[in-house]
């Protein structure tokens, strides 16, 4: 049975690129364009993994991550931050809040992102 991945990303082009790449790898994809919708979908769908951008309309990715990790029903779901924010403080904050990994968009190809996801889901 294919693993389900939730992509929380407000950039339409990037969201579609990542979705298509992951679908080719036989993952089931759902997407959210902002923090509220992302949080709602995590609770409803309980995906196998969440790819989370930090700069989002409404509530930001840090807040989404914090709420996921505080909710006993969903706090075991791995969350990978995928962001352009790459300062040491932001990375530390994301990992401290419970992110499984922190990927800086500019530093990873789509194939490398897929590889990270595959490793985490094993």
| CATH for 51 | 3.40.50.2300
Domain span including residue 50: 4-121
Size of the chain, expressed as the number of residues it contains: 122
Predicted confidence pLDDT, tens digits, the chain (122 residues)? 899 999 999 999 999 999 999 999 999 999 999 999 999 999 999 999 999 999 999 999 999 999 999 999 999 999 999 999 999 999 999 999 999 999 999 999 999 999 999 999 99
The number of domains in the chain is 1
Q: Do 77 and 68 contact (CB within 8 A), yes or no?
A: yes
From the CB of residue 83, how many other CB atoms can be counted at a distance below 10 Å?
22
Of all residues in the chain, what percent carry a pLDDT higher than 70?
100
Output Rg (C-alpha) for the chain, integer angstroms. 13
Confidence (pLDDT) at 1: 86
Q: What is the DSSP letter of 73?
A: T
Residue 11, helix vs strand vs coil: coil
């Amino acid at each position: 049975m294919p693993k389900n991945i939730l992509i929380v990303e407000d950039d339409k082009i990037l969201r579609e690129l990542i979705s298509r790449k992951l679908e080719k790898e036989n993952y089931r994809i759902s997407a959210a364009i902002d923090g509220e919708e992302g949080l709602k979908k995590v609770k409803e769908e309980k995906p196998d993994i969440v790819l989370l951008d930090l700069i989002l309309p409404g509530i930001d990715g840090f807040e989404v991550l914090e709420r996921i990790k505080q909710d006993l029903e969903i706090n075991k779901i791995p969350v990978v931050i995928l962001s352009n924010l790459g300062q040491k403080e932001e990375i530390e904050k994301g990992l401290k809040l419970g992110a499984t990994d922190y990927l800086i968009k500019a530093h990873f190809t789509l194939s490398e992102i897929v590889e990270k996801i595959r490793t985490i889901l094993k």
